[in-house]
Amino acid sequence: MKSLSELQAIKDRVRDTVLPPAGKAETRVVVGMATCGIAAGATPVLDALVEGTKNLENVTVSKTGCVGICQYEPVVEIFEPGKDKVTYVKMDAEKAARVIEEHLKGGKVVEDFLLSNEKGEKTALKDTAFYKPQQRVVLRNCGLIDPENIEEYIAMDGYAALGKVLTEMTPEQVIEEIKKSGLRGRGGGGFPTGVKWGLCAPNKAPQKYVVCNADEGDPGAFMDRSVLEGDPHCIIEAMTIAGYAIGATKGYVYVRAEYPIAVDHLQKAIEQAHEYGLLGKDIFGSGFEFELYIRLGAGAFVCGEETALMTSIEGNRGEPRPRPPYPAVKGLYDSPTIENNVETFANVPQIILRGADWFASMGTEKSKGTKVFALGGKIKNTGLVEIPMGTTLHDIIDKIGGGIPNGKKFKAAQTGGPSGGCIPAKLIDTEVDYDNLIAIGCMMGSGGLIVMDEDNCMVDMAKFFLEFTVDESCGKCTPCRVGTKRLLEILDKITAGKGTLEDVDRLEQLCYYIKQNSLCGLGQTAPNPVLATLKFFREEYIAHVVDKKCPAGVCKDLLTYTIDKDKCIGCGLCSRNCPVSTIHKTDYVAEGHKLPSYEIDPEKCIKCGVCMQNCKFGAISKQ
């Protein structure tokens, strides 16, 4: 393909298949086959639908990416001419067979498998509290198109932005449009994307590079993976546009090897783009050429830092480099390079097509557009959400997320993973954008949002993230290599009930030293979870070191299991299930009568909680 007219012809031919309008005969059955869907059992569902519909006329079955409602996977959606889309959730092969018989053959929706809203009523996906507040820009094609079919991407305006750029705009105009949009890096730092491109463009060199960071190592984060699995062509298109803007002819997508589906879809998309003339030489007859390559990462968290990532692409150990010089001047292979993450790039084609003003109309004054979050933890509705910048944490948790399950109280939300901090319940009305989060000592990060309730210990949470950072430190600089280990040692001491008030002071002082002296962003942000919990939950640290108690009942060394003899009926279930035989029978005198009961030897108890799990009468408690 070398012309825009051929692109338009494909769009005209295929679009009605992707989104069947009234009057068209074909019914489209779509199965979510992203990692979340496959893990939930979508493969036999797909097989059952393909086999069961092979003799049905005008019915096609295809794969798609993540629909967003990960907790309801496997998900099957049916598009019928002149009718609303139907979403079936928590499917299996038997349910699929019933859908074929009753819906596809009988024309009747199987209400048993539909979504229910917060009132328990059967409802369409678009009418749920989970979806209503969302504005899908980055995720616009995920869950809709077949990611392995380039023509379905083209049908949804795919590669039209690239065609516009190469035939109507100069590189300077492209950069200016990105600047005007207000797009900021979605990888965590929030640096203005257009400014970054503008710093690289004037630098003369025989070769320049565009790099996409798809490493995504934060615990609980899966936004970039879902985009690559569900809409890989948008990244190819965006990186090609970026290459044109800065004068680069080569690009690399650095994606972790633990994302095999994302890698497979991306590789197929690159091959298809070459086949259709959308990568390679003389794209759209403009004379511009661009080549794209995949580099697999081995799962090193530090390679999320741009200079460490580039060092890894070069075939060396992933370690950060001192800056300056910045990558825009001296990056990959010592050449001028720009690096953005998957979500940042995914916004670019829509900005070019719809205009900078359209994008800037969403969000806040300094944080434009939308943000994708991977919502997880103690929350009813888990999955991917895309909301305008400036949406309050309250709306994300209580409206979109459906609130905290089991009647528990919201305690905090961790943003930014190991590099971020926690937002406490008292700040639940905070508008989520770059500047507001930084103002309270947190950060956006790449978009993981982990919700915690009253049963979470904040000292333990800080320890969890620090354990991750200690393991992932590359060891190049002493403040990070040694400092984070000392932080972890102090936290271990506190959670074991051996800490002092002086340890809490030392902990805070060391945090600031590490932040100020570490070489790269990993070390500079590693203390953030500790500092945030110290700021908002210092009383929990005090309880651990002064009272030798864990208020949330999480830290094992500070727990004591006791049996309430007024509630104990002497059944012995606790004793028979104790793995270390530390629960013994005893007599209990009540109203002049000896009654059988049990007691726990605190010296021998390993605090595993098995006794409490097995007691059917609520006689065992932990303090």
Number of domains present in the structure of the chain: 4
Determine contact, residues 165/244, Cβ cutoff 8 Å: yes
- CA 530 → CA 233, 437, 469, 515, 534, distances in Å? 39, 16, 12, 12, 6
Contact 552, 453 (CB under 8 A): no
Place of tokens 């979403």: 87
pLDDT digits (tens, 9 = 90+) for 392-408: 999 999 999 999 999 99
Residues 6+ apart with CB under 8 A from 233: 147, 150, 153, 158, 159, 269, 272, 273
Query: Same domain, yes or no, for 522 and 595?
Result: no
CA quadruple 121, 126, 131, 134: dihedral, nearest 10: -150
User: Element (H or E) spanning 376, and its range?
Assistant: strand 370-377
DSSP letter string, 463-493: HHHHHHHHHH----SHHHHTHHHHHHHHHHH
CATH code assigned at 194: 3.40.50.11540
Q: What's residue 23's pLDDT?
A: 58
Q: Which parts of 169-212 fold into alpha helices (H)?
A: 171-181, 193-200
Percent of the chain whose predicted confidence (pLDDT) is above 90 = 72
What band does 488 get if pLDDT is binned at 50, 70 and 90? very high
Q: What was the pLDDT predicted at 217?
A: 80
Q: What's the alpha-carbon Rg for the chain, to the nearest Å?
A: 27
Environment class of residue 172 by beta-carbon count within 10 Å: exposed (0-12), middle (13-18) or buried (19+)? exposed
Query: Which two three-digit tokens encode residue 528?
Result: 């953030």
Q: What is the pLDDT of residue 410?
A: 96
Same domain assignment for residues 480 and 513 = yes
Average of per-residue pLDDT across 371-375: 94
Q: Averaged over 225-240, what is the pLDDT?
A: 97
- pLDDT at res. 567: 87
Q: Do residues 421 and 504 share a domain?
A: yes
Q: Would the CA dihedral through 331, 335, 338, 341 be positive or negative?
A: negative
> According to the 3-state scheme, what is the secondary structure of 485-530?
HHHHHHHHHHHCCCCCHHHHHHHHHHHHHHHHHCCCHHHHHCCHHH
Cβ atoms of residues 297 and 204 within 8 Å:
no
Which residue among 104, 127, 150 closes a domain?
A: 127
Residue where a domain terminates, one of 547, 569, 597: 547
31 closest CA partner among 81, 66, 68: 66
Asked whether residue 14 carries a pLDDT value surpassing 90, the answer given is no
2 confidence band (pLDDT: 50, 70, 90):
low
Host domain of residue 592: 560-622
* 422 in any annotated domain: yes
Is the same domain home to 167 and 116?
no
pLDDT, tens only, 259-288: 999 999 999 999 999 999 999 999 999 999
Predicted local distance difference test score (pLDDT) of residue 187: 84
CA gap 282, 285 in Å, rounded = 5
Choice between 357 and 21, residue whose per-residue pLDDT is larger: 357
| CATH code for position 603 | 3.30.70.3270
Let me know whether 396 and 424 are in one domain: yes
| pLDDT band per the 50, 70, 90 thresholds, residue 89 | very high
What is the pLDDT at residue 201?
Answer: 97
Q: Give whole-number Cα distances, 448 to 167, 180, 317, 422, 480, in Å.
A: 38, 27, 27, 12, 23
Is residue 592's pLDDT more than 60? no
Q: Is 419 exposed, middle or buried (0-12, 13-18, 19+ CB in 10 A)?
A: buried
Round to whole Å and give the CA distance between 350 and 575. Answer: 64
Amino acid 514: pLDDT? 95
The residues facing 64 across adjacent strands are: 32
- Rounded CA gap, 111 and 313, in Å? 50
Same domain, 539 and 599: no
| pLDDT tens digits along 406-459 | 999 999 999 888 888 899 999 999 999 999 998 888 888 778 899 999 999 999
Q: Does some domain include residue 137?
A: no
Q: Mean of the pLDDT values across residues 523-534?
A: 93
Residue 444: predicted pLDDT: 83
DSSP 566-610: TT-----HHHHH-TT--EEEEEEEETTEEEEEEEE-TTT-----H
Residues shown for the chain: 623
Q: How far, in Å, are 458, 476, 487, 545, 579 from residue 505 at the CA level? A: 17, 27, 11, 12, 39
pLDDT reading at 22 higher than 60? no
My answer on whether 397 and 524 are in the same domain is: yes
Q: What is the pLDDT of residues 560-581, one digit of tens each?
A: 888 888 888 888 899 899 999 9
Contact 553, 544 (CB under 8 A): no
CATH number where 401 lies: 3.10.20.600
Does 166 fall in a domain? yes
In a domain, 554, yes or no: no
In a domain, 141, yes or no: no
Q: Within a domain: residue 552? A: no
% residues pLDDT > 70 (the chain): 97
Domain co-membership, 354 together with 449: no
- Which backbone phi and psi does 161 adopt, to 5 degrees? -65, -40
Domain contains 144:
no
How far apart, in Å, do the first and last CA atoms of the chain sit? 70
Q: Looking at the structure, tell me whether residues 177 and 297 fall in a common domain.
A: yes
CATH classification of the domain holding 26: 3.40.30.10
C-alpha to C-alpha distance for 99 and 110, rounded to whole angstroms: 6
**Dihedral sign, CA of 126, 127, 131, 132?**
positive
Average pLDDT of the segment spanning 363-370: 94
- pLDDT averaged over every residue in the chain: 92
What is the pTM for the complete model shown?
0.92
pLDDT band at 594 (very low <50, low <70, confident <90, very high): low
> Could you say which of 332, 360, 388 is where a domain stops?
360
User: Binning pLDDT at 50, 70 and 90, where does residue 490 land?
Assistant: very high
- Lowest-confidence region among 103-117, 182-196, 543-557, 585-599: 585-599
Closest by CA to 463, choosing from 490, 424, 501, is 490
| 529 shares its domain with 592 | no
Domain assignment present for 140: no
Do residues 24 and 83 share a domain? yes
**Can you tell me the mean pLDDT for 310-321?**
94
Q: Which class for 50: exposed (0-12), middle (13-18), buried (19 or more C-beta within 10 A)? A: middle
pLDDT at 15: 84
What band does 591 get if pLDDT is binned at 50, 70 and 90? low
Same domain membership, residue 323 and residue 375: no
Identify the band that residue 1 occupies on the pLDDT scale cut at 50, 70 and 90.
low
